[in-house]
Structure 1
Amino acid sequence: MAGDLLRFNQEQLEEDIQQALSDWHQMSRLESPFTALYLYRRFLQESLGNIQQATNRLLDLALEQLNREYPVHVDVLRGRYVEGQKADVVAGQLNMSQATFHRKRNEALPLLTAEIVRMEEAERSAYRQRMERRLEISASPHLFGRSERIAQLLTLIETTEAPWLFALVGIGGIGKTTLADALARRLIESPTFYGIGWTTARQTTFSVGGSLSARQQPTLSSAILVERLCKQLLGEEIFHVQRSAEELLLLLEEHLRAYPHFIVIDNLESVHDVGTLLPLLRRLANPSKFLITTRNSLYDEPDLYHITVPELEWKDSLALIRQEIEARNITSGASAKETELFPIYETVGGNPLALRLVVGQLHRHPLAAVLNDLVSARGSQAEALYTHIYWHAWSQLTPTEQDVFIAMPLVSEQGGRLDLLAAMCELEESELRQAVDTLAVLNLIDVRGDLYERRYTIHSLTRSFLHEQVIRWQQEALEAPA
């Protein structure tokens, strides 16, 4: 891809190289003709923003490489431009006629252009590999039903103006991390940013096999975030000298101001986490941009651009199910009809994590048994899934909020208005509104409708969860010693 990009601009690049050589000794350069080259962008950072030094370093390295095969052509260019001598003087030093000098110079420019193209392609490949190593997901997964949303977000993120802070919001397992990964991979090639950053606040990991494990890492504080980003973006060497937390922050702030980055902070799963870090992100943003993924809606933060990640539609869920069946070589499901697979969607909805969990168990169990286990909350896989997605939010609810949540399966998939919920729960509307606000912030309920009417409902997976698992949690809480 990099080669194609450069081939289309080959003629322009040759003109830019000619101009850059002519300006070799210009000390007041305000702009480089190599701005779009990744090689130049790296040299610019290494030269601490010195445009002339970065431009000349790129040319000097290319001349050094070219000298291995075309030393005479390089001598012509160095004598004329680097040493700044007139053509006849250089021709005399090289024992050639002026006609030969001009011929060699004209031959040298395309050769130098080809060498810079080769170097740039290698640099872009190395840059992409460096950026991809920073991402949490080792390989880019196929996305279903997200293309339009990704395109809209890329347009917003690549502008050199606000918004500077973005939040991908949604229930656990809905695909926030996968969507953030897709955005980051596409932005690796963006000329808007000098690099990609990625860090996570994840405390637990849920495998598609149905196991839940704790991650041994501290809670993501402001100081830890600054340290991680400094290490990732500025390199380990800055820690060779002892620096205070404020000194590290100033270094990071200066770097992100001079060289805009796109940075993902994944799995900020509590309002407290986000509230603690937002002041820091505001300080570091502009022109750099930050994207957080969280289960909590934060509409009270006016400068945080919210993107709610919805469930997959049926057709996209079916495509994901079939891909998982093929990838896992589940022969029993390879020829399954849509009608045979639809009960999966009816039970768990379009939650990608739950869909993968169901398919993963088809090696060992029939589909009906797997789905019954989810609805009845039987087995370690079902309990681990529900704990991963719901426990943290459930544990934050007041008794009234829990009661409203438990009543939600009585509402249709199309949703119920506030007055219906008030009648069902036997609550005053003001008290109910407060409970609904909390459930919406935690993305436990789905808010639908328009400016004039709002309706409230729940995901299919949440219906399954509320059928049995939440009753067990309530019972365990009652039986727990005071």
Structure 2
Amino acid sequence: MSNSLSASTEGLAIVDKARQRRGWTKTSTARWWQDAHTSRATLRRFWQGDRIQRDIFIAICQAVGISNWEAIANSSNLNFEPIPEKNIPDLDWNEAPDVESFYGRDRQLEQLEQWIITNRCKLIAIVGIAGIGKTALALALADRIQSKFDRSIWRSLQSSPSPISLLDSILNAIAPTVVGDVQQGIAQLLHHLQQRPYLLILDGLEAVLSKKEYAAEYHQLLDKLSRDRHQSCILITSCEQPKSIGIDTKTVRCLNLQGLPKPDAVELLRSRGFTGKELGLSALIQLYRGNPLAIKLVTPLIQSVFGGNIAAFLNQNTLVISERLQTILKQQCEQLSDLEREILYWLAIWQEPVSFCRLQTHFLISVDPAAVLAAIANLDRRSLLEKWFNAEESSFTLQPLVMKIVTDELVERAALEIDRAVQSNDIRHFKILRTHWLVRPGTDDIAGDRILNQLRERLWRVHGATLPESLRQILLLLGDRSPLAIGYIGCNIMALLL
């Protein structure tokens, strides 16, 4: 029997179904090639239908639960002589991460493949909130379409490389190159993209767009890549849609990635040790809006603290966010303008969809409606909002993960303002408590009570039994101030005293 084998077309289809059941990508799940005691390059050759060593071929099949490897092999090459393993020279994926699991996204993969292969799009952005699965989707897509390009290059932008460093890295992956400056580097890159079809993946674009010293040159690079003629495709993942690529055109597209549908999220939970029939499972998926990373990171807590009882976890009426996700979301919020942050705080206070007109009526100082609309558009572009539409008007609220981050920040900043005002007897320290009423106007809403209770608990830990007297002292400071200077301070202090 031959010491080398290749998979048949029918066999590859069987293996494809087996790896999907495990939530594995074709070549980016490290566990697969590690379990088979081989390399990513060999796994790629397996998928390309190349002949590989017989024992490795069998191990690859067994790693996904296929014991009948003969059904996978191409019978026509059983008598061929063995050939040595070889590296695949047309892939530069050293910076591509390994993906533990990947579920669903069939519709998105088909859409992206159509844009790239059929419509010949030059630039595509996969956009969505942190943890939603942008990188995993890009990896799964690259698995499917890499054979359509002469070369595939993956570059991670999480370390915030300068534009010249990124261009130097990409160009030297194509051919030995000396890059003088950004303008020259862009011209050289476009020359190569025009000569041969390349697939260039830029993962985590938001990391470099947040750097003021880099943003302009990166926007210039994206603008050139999206406008100039070439036969390649640039695939971007980002938490925010870059302004420089504009709206969808025939050759430039943006996919706004949402959470996993329930069936796929259930499969993800099964891979984490759940049966898929637990009480509260649907509510957990909805609470995290099908965010794969958020679900993966909260499940160990549910298993270790609540013994796998999802309902008991949900009864705590809280949203647990991992430190990793918190860091990413906080960094996003730090990039916001004062008006965008003010809108976030109002949406956190209301805790439900708010219309544009209703939102406008509660600003302490009248704001140009055009500026408010632009701020809302920017928040949406950064994947921070959820939108609700009906026949009469549209409404906005925050993504649940963002709601948790913003609410905690709102409470912390409000507590610091009170602490400073108490220490200095000066109301000039009030910012948020002056411009925002922590109880939804005209209601006794439980959401507003939740924020007030959280703030009250934070203050009691610092001031103890002296808190009521400290708050009354603040009220005395408001006596001779103008209504504009007081704003919502008095309302908030009175609510805390109740």
TM-score, with structure 1 as normaliser = 0.58
Cα offset for 1:384? 4.1
On the 8 A contact 1:447/1:457 being kept in 2, the answer is yes
TM superposition shift of 1:233? 3.0
8 A Cα contact 1:312 1:351, kept in partner: yes
Question: What secondary structure is seen at the aligned counterpart in 2 of 1:337?
Answer: coil
- The DSSP-based 3-state class of the residue aligned with 1:297 is coil
Quote the Cα distance in structure 2 between the aligned partners of 1:139 and 1:382: 18
Does 2:370 correspond to 1:433?
no
Alignment of 1:267 onto 2:226: no
Q: Partners of 1:170 and 1:445 in 2: how far apart?
A: 10
1:252 CA displacement: 4.1
Aligned to 2:330: 391
Deviation for aligned residue 1:466: 3.5
What's the counterpart of residue 419 of structure 1? 357
Q: Does 1:463 align with 2:403?
A: yes
- In structure 1, the partner of 2:232 is 288
**1:230 maps to amino acid:** L
Aligned to 1:313: 261
- Cα deviations by residue, 1:293-349 (Å, 9 ceiling, x for unpaired): 1111235633642111112233332222222x23xxxxxxx3463433234224322
- The 3-state SS of whatever aligns with 2:383 is coil
Distance 1:365 1:276, change over 3 A: farther
Structure 2 unpaired stretches of 5+: 11-75, 421-428, 430-498
Does 2:145 match 1:187? Answer: yes
User: In the superposition, relative to structure 1, how do residues 300 and 421 fare at CA in structure 2: closer, same or farther (>3 Å)?
Assistant: farther
Alignment of 1:34-53 (within 5 A): none
> How far apart are the structure 2 equivalents of 1:435 and 1:442?
11
Partner Cα distance (1:258, 1:443) in 2: 36
Cα distance change, pair 283–410 in 1 and its aligned pair in 2 (3 A): closer
Give yes or no for the alignment of 1:232 onto 2:190: no
Aligned position for 2:469: none
CA gap of 1:408–1:362, structure 2 versus 1, over 3 A, is: same
Map Cα deviations across residues 70-105 of structure 1 (whole Å, 9 max, x no partner).
xxxxxxxxxxxxxxxxxxxxxxxxxxxxxxxxxxxx
CA distance in 2, matches of 1:250, 1:385: 37
The aligned counterpart of 1:375 is 318
- Distance in 2 (CA, whole Å) between partners of 1:124 and 1:310 is 40
Structure 1 pair 478–352 and aligned structure 2 pair: CA distance change class (3 A)? farther
Deviation at 1:176, TM superposition (A): 0.9
Q: Give the deviation of 1:286 after TM superposition.
A: 1.5
TM-score of the pair, normalised by structure 2 = 0.56
Aligned partners of 1:407 and 1:425 also within 8 Å = no
Match of 1:177 among 135, 141, 155: 135
- Shift of residue 125 of structure 1? 7.7
The match for 2:38 is: none
Contact 1:131 1:195 (8 Å CA) reproduced: yes
Q: Does 1:166 align with 2:124?
A: yes
Equivalent of 1:143 in 80, 103, 107: 103
Is contact 2:129-2:384 (8 Å) kept? yes
* Residues 130 and 371 (structure 1), Cα distance of their counterparts in 2 relative to 1, 3 Å cut: farther
- The share of aligned pairs that are identical, in percent, is 22
Displacement of 1:220? 2.5
SS of 2:281 mapped into structure 1: helix
Equivalent residue for 1:222?
163
In 1, the alpha carbon distance for the partners of 2:199 and 2:391 equals: 33
User: Bigger relative contact order, structure 1 or 2, given CA contacts below 8 A and separation 6+?
Assistant: 1
Map Cα deviations across residues 120-175 of structure 1 (whole Å, 9 max, x no partner).
x9799843x8637446132573222x1111101101101374x3111111111111
* Cα distance in 1, alignment partners of residues 94 and 270 from structure 2: 30
- CA 1:355–1:477: 2 relative to 1, 3 Å: farther
Alpha-carbon distance, 1:223 to partner: 1.4
More helix by share: 1
Structure 1 residue 251, shift from structure 2 partner: 5.3
Quote the RMSD (CA, aligned, Å).
4.1
Distance verdict in 2 for CA 1:259–1:400, change over 3 Å: closer
Conserved? CA contact 1:170–1:296, under 8 Å: yes
Aligned to 1:25: none
Question: Counterpart amino acid of 2:343?
Answer: V
Aligned to 1:262, the other structure's residue is in SS state strand
Segment of structure 1 superposing worse, 402-411 or 254-263: 402-411
AA at the equivalent of 1:201: L
Aligned match of 1:255: 192
Please name the residue that 1:405 is paired with: 344
Highest Rg: 1 or 2? 1
Which secondary structure does the structure 2 equivalent of 1:468 belong to? helix
Task: Classify 1:479/1:371 alpha carbon distance in 2 versus 1 (closer, same or farther; 3 Å).
Answer: farther
- Counterpart for residue 46 of structure 1: none
Q: Identify the residue that residue 454 of structure 1 maps to in structure 2.
A: 394
| Distance in 1, Cα, partners of 2:267 & 2:201 | 28
Q: Which runs of 5+ in 1 are unaligned?
A: 7-113, 204-218, 327-333
Map of 1:102 onto structure 2 = none
Q: Distance in 2 between matches of 1:140 and 1:233?
A: 29
Q: Does 1:348 align with 2:288?
A: yes
* 8 A contact 1:196–1:262 mirrored in 2: yes
